[in-house]
Structure 1
Amino acid sequence: MNLTKYILYIGISFMILSCEIKQEVLIVDVYETSASGNNLKKLTDFSIEENKDSLLNITLFPQKKRQKITGFGGSFTEASAYLLNNISKKNRDSIIEAYFGETGAKYSLTRTHMNSCDFSLGQYSYAPIAGDKELVNFTIDEDKSDIIPMIKDAMKVSKDGFKILASPWTASPWMKDNNAWVGGKLLQEYYDTWALFFSKYVTAYNKEGIDIWGFTVENEPLGNGNNWESMHFTPDEMTNFVQHHLGPKLRNDYPEIKILGYDQNREHLKEWIDSQFKNEETSKYFDGTAIHWYASTFHYFSDELQYAHQKAPNKYLIQSEACVDAEVPKWKDDAWYWKKEATDWGWDWAPEKDKHMHPKYAPVHRYARDIIGCLNNWVDGWIDWNMVLDTQGGPNWFKNWCVAPIIVDPAKDEVYFTPLYYTLSHFSKFIRPEATIFEVENSDKDIMVTAAENPDGTIAVVVFNETNQSKNIQLLLDNQKVNIKMNGQSIQTIVIPNNEN
């Protein structure tokens, strides 16, 4: 080989080697929330020393696609809207921006209640006149001073917009067999009236400039212990109502509106799925299923979620409500949200056989565990309950206190962003609607991981480290890798840019 060829050979080899080295380095941004004090902080130094013995491997397989994401968010309740009306405009605007703005959580999927619920100031119906079968007197005036202005403010700051899922807690008492707000069933003679109610609600909100994306048929159709607004359905009763009344009515008036069945705890999901999707006739008006998490403080019921997906793989499966319930929130005490001191309704009231499902838990852990567990088991949307509550955990006419990600003290005009707000933001801000969840291999059973590829080609990997020990992660994508140090008791979102942009 002459000298010229040798130099050319060395040059080409060096170029190839340089390209290979560049390909091995995975460029990422890392955001962390931790018990040590980080709140969705972008880390500038997350490097670790190369020590293969201490590395845990997270391997990404974006080509192994799973479900598409509908969205993440919280709920517009009368309680939250009332509180926003009673703080300064500056603080109100900061909360709306924090949830819906580009600098905030960028919520994309929300929920609200039709008629009153426990997180209302009192009990009311949009159809108050008994015997008004044609709903001539239907009105949403109750919402015009609080919920509707809150939604409109959110619409103003949301760049990409958001979907609204509406849920009734009960029909008007006069439509029910017990003529009461709590419990009872919808009378057969009012099935068509109640279906008309949904359509009129869409029309009324449209006149306010607000689009409704979908409905759940009934919040908690199994009941809530006869405590606050409720109305009972069996699985087959709900399927019958949707198949012969609500479905045809909405298909005729608003064919794009989605209908989600069930809307309660996952432990009973299979029997509702079997009824809704029994055959083509029963399933044709159901666009999917809604679920809650209150059956357990730590178990996300993967078998039930897998069953629901397998039975109806092309239907929505949306977590429509979750909160730290039966608790008064801790004010400006971040540490409490990372400690196993919180309880839920089951801590005191669950039957003995179910006590193990309701241990004490750390609120941040419960949110992170459940969202990742859901996403890894085909759930495509996740909605928190109240966006804002006061220092008591209300207002709530039944005094059913709960925790919200943002707590306010109207008397002092103060706002507290709890660690739950940042926990939710790790998902809602970085995993966008129409993102695709894909398969991940994780070598450490002590951490949880989920990952999604967004429509713009960016990849978001969310990692939750529940242990007190820091972890050294080696993230692998194709022939690229990056090593990342992760604090104990922390959540990280690792964002991989689209190199083709």
Structure 2
Amino acid sequence: MSCSNDNQLHVSVYETSESGNSLTEISEFNKSEDSLTATVRIDTTKRFQKITGFGGAFTESSAYLLNKLSKNNRDEILKAYFSKEGANYSLTRTHMNSCDFSLSQYSYSPVVDDMDLEHFTIKDDMDDLIPMIKDAMSVSEEGFKIFASPWTAAPWMKDNNGWVGGKLLPKYYDTWALFFSKYVDAYKEQGIDIWGFTVENEPHGNGNNWESMHYTPDEMTNFVMNHLGPKLEADGHGDKIILGYDQNRAGLKEWVDSMYKNEETSKYFDGTAIHWYESTYKIYSEDLQYAHNKAPNKYLIETEGCIDSQVPVWKDDAWYWRKEATDWGWDWAKEEEKYLHPKYAPVNRYARDIIGCLNNWVDGWVDWNMVLDRQGGPNWFKNWCVAPIIVDPDSDEVYYTPLYYVMAHFSKYIRPSAEVIGVENSDKELQITAAQNPDGTIAVVVFNEGKTPKNFNISLNGKSKHITISAQALQTIMIPTN
């Protein structure tokens, strides 16, 4: 007579590893002899932030490349990102006007001194960008949120009359606020609902290299409080989300201090947007905690991160697990800040950052370009970067890098409105986060960046399961509702 083990926790385990797994389901766990068994306890009584979503950005570069591929490959990539069988992206970004990942510089307000924006046009988005967004919408069963970010206003609105750097002239504050409102209407006409905005991509600038426009914290707060917020409200767009800041975490405190100074300054800010480029490894936990505590009921979203200043490596998965990549800071950071920019493994950077963010109140995490070519472009400034999917349009080839699978470990299994829950973990070398989905399922993401496999017992409500995670591996463990 056999009896079932009532204390056995039933789980499904999916692993991506340096040894070759790519979101592969694992069911056999042979105990690793050279590792003690850690204890991982899930605590559903401890509840933190609600998840807004995970995803990537629609850029002109990505959309242009998709249109150069065969229909089969184009469709396959969109399904890989947006279908339930794929990564099921739920939160996305796009750019207003051109950015570095555009084919050229353009603005929706091309006519100088058009104060009422009578010549406003999104014609530059019609060939590539809008078709990509609409096709993604048709693939996605559950839908996704999309927010838009400007890199700069048209040069004629700025004090330096240039695409790069400079500030918005105060006399054009109302015109620029109107620009956001017209953008919502123009995209709505194309069947695309805009969920919200960041006020300005990288308001500190970007070393004056590509499209940018500078604000101080108080200048941005003034613009939102007295111009953008009231204009969107007056035009019936008061439901659109406004995220302030939108640059690196190290500068977070002074921005949230300005945005959330009092009820009046806070009124139109729905949350804070952050990037990760200040360091290749540092999470900036204290800054994230500070931002959350300053406005605990508002969004805190990572709106951009990528392996930057790097030409992608083609069809060599192992490279993405090795500490060979460098970022902008490797060459350009001030000498006293070089320590923040060591060489790193791209997979490690993504996995540990997303886990670290989720464990410090961040509720959304958005990757940068979804698709780039073998050079890391096209990019008019030649600011090459890596994307999770790399394509060669000349030979119609597609390469799903390990970064694609890393993103899917989170986006596919941790769904919008999931709540981050408590985890007790006895092995500090394992990086772990957990969230309970609206349907009751629990997703536990475990990252082992070490060179040896690890054993752990995962437990919930008195039931447990022994699991082994490979060396240099990421696992998502799904626990059903009962």
2:29 is aligned to 46
Is residue 396 of structure 1 aligned with residue 340 of structure 2?
no
| C-alpha distance in 2 between matches for 1:262 and 1:419 | 30
Report the counterpart of residue 49 of structure 2 in structure 1: 67
Name which of 157, 171, 186 aligns with 1:189. 171
Cα distance in 1, alignment partners of residues 21 and 430 from structure 2: 18
**Which residue does the alignment assign to 2:276?**
293
Residue 455 of structure 2 aligns with an amino acid whose one-letter code is N
Question: Partner residue of 1:116?
Answer: 98
State the distance in 2 between where 1:53 and 1:109 align.
38
User: Shift of the alpha carbon at 1:52?
Assistant: 13
The aligned counterpart of 1:429 is: 412
Which segments of structure 1 move beyond 6 Å, counting only runs of 4 or more? none
Q: Select the residue among 208, 217, 222 that pairs with 2:204.
A: 222
Is residue 307–residue 386 contact of structure 2 (8 Å, CA) maintained in 1?
A: yes
2:350 to 364, 367, 377: 367
Q: Secondary structure at the match of 2:47?
A: strand
Aligned length: 481
- Aligned equivalent of 2:137, options 149, 155, 158: 155
Aligned to 2:76: 94
Corresponding position of 2:435: 452
Distance in 1, matches of 2:245 and 2:442, equals 32
Q: TM-score, normalised by structure 1?
A: 0.95
* Partner residue in 1 for 2:463: 480
> How far has the Cα of 1:47 moved from its partner?
5.0
Q: Report the alpha carbon displacement of residue 252 of structure 1 after superposing the two structures with TM.
A: 2.2
Other-structure match for 1:203: 185
Secondary structure of the residue aligned to 1:448 is: strand
In the alignment, the residues of structure 2 paired with residue 52 and residue 213 of structure 1 have an alpha-carbon distance, to the nearest angstrom, of 50
Structure 1 residues 357-390: Cα deviation after superposition (integer angstroms, max 9, x where no partner): 0000000000001000000000000000000000
Percent identity (aligned) = 68
2:120 equivalent to 1:138: yes
Q: What letter matches 1:453 in structure 2?
A: Q
Q: Within 2, Cα distance between the matches of 1:369 and 1:165?
A: 25
C-alpha distance in 2 between matches for 1:161 and 1:372: 24
Distance (whole Å) between structure 2 residues aligned to residue 482 and residue 453 of structure 1: 18
3-state DSSP of counterpart to 1:123: coil
Q: Is the 8 A contact 2:120 2:182 kept in 1?
A: yes
Q: Distance in 1 between matches of 2:288 and 2:169?
A: 32
Distance 2:214 2:419 in 1: 35
**Contact kept in structure 1, 2:39 and 2:456, CA below 8 Å:** yes
Which of residues 363, 371, 392 in structure 2 aligns to 1:409? 392
Change (3 A) 1:119 1:52: closer
Partner of 2:68, secondary structure, is: coil
The answer on 1:383 being equivalent to 2:358 is no
> Which residue of 1 is the match for residue 286 of structure 2?
303
User: Residue 318 of structure 2 corresponds to which residue in structure 1?
Assistant: 335
Cα-to-partner distance string for 1:190-218 (whole Å, 9 max, x where unaligned): 00000000000000000000000000000
Deviation at 1:45, TM superposition (A): 1.4
2:196 and 2:242 mapped to 1: Cα distance? 6
- In structure 2, stretches of 5+ residues that fail to align are none
Structure 2 residue aligned with 1:103 = 85
Tell me the equivalent position of 2:195: 213
Residue 351 (structure 1) shift: 0.6
Which runs of 5 or more structure 1 residues have no equivalent in the other structure?
1-13
Is the 1:71–1:428 Cα contact (8 Å) retained in structure 2? Answer: yes
Within 1, Cα distance between the matches of 2:105 and 2:444? 43
Equivalences for residues 11-26 of structure 1 within 5 A: 21-22=5-6, 24-26=7-9
- How far, CA to CA, are the matches of 1:441 and 1:400 in structure 2? 41
* TM-score between both structures, scaled by the size of structure 2: 0.98
Q: CA deviation at 1:46?
A: 2.5
Task: Please point out which of 213, 226, 238 is paired with 1:231.
Answer: 213
SS at structure 2 position matched to 1:274: helix
Q: Does 1:465 align with 2:448?
A: yes
Bigger-Rg structure (1/2): 1
Contact 1:47 1:483 in 2 (8 A): no
Q: Distance in 1 between matches of 2:327 and 2:340?
A: 10
- What amino acid is aligned across from residue 365 of structure 1 in structure 2? N
Secondary structure at 2:421 match in 1: strand
Deviates more, 1:53-62 or 1:441-450: 53-62
Q: Please give the alpha-carbon distance, in whole angstroms, between the structure 2 residues aligned to 1:44 and 1:66.
A: 30
CA drift at 1:439: 1.2
Contact 1:108 1:163 in 2 (8 A): yes
Q: Is the 8 A contact 1:277 1:283 kept in 2?
A: yes
2:257 equivalent to 1:280:
no
Determine helix, strand or coil for the equivalent of 1:472. Answer: strand
Q: Find the aligned partners of 2:412 and 2:169 in 1 and give their Cα distance.
A: 43
* Partner deviation per Cα, 1:215-252 (whole Å, 9 max, x = no partner): 00000000000100000000000000000000111122
For residues 84 and 53 of structure 1, the distance between their equivalents in structure 2, rounded to whole angstroms, comes to 45
- TM alignment of 1:239-250, pairs within 5 A: 239-250=221-232
| 2-structure distance, mates of 1:364, 1:252 | 45
TM-fit CA distance, 1:62 = 1.1
Aligned to 1:172: 154
**CA drift at 1:53:** 8.3
Does the Cα contact within 8 Å between 1:167 and 1:217 map onto a contact in 2? Answer: yes
Q: Report what 1:4 is aligned to.
A: none
**Secondary structure in structure 2 of the residue aligned to 1:83:** helix
Q: Is the 8 A contact 2:35 2:454 kept in 1?
A: no
- Aligned residue for 1:33, secondary structure, equals strand
One of 250, 253, 267 as aligned partner of 1:267 = 250
Task: Confirm or deny: 8 A CA contact 1:32 1:492 kept in the other structure.
Answer: yes
- Matched position secondary structure for 1:45: coil
Matches of 1:434 and 1:381 in 2, distance apart?
11
Work out the CA distance in 2 between the residues paired with 1:419 and 1:149: 27
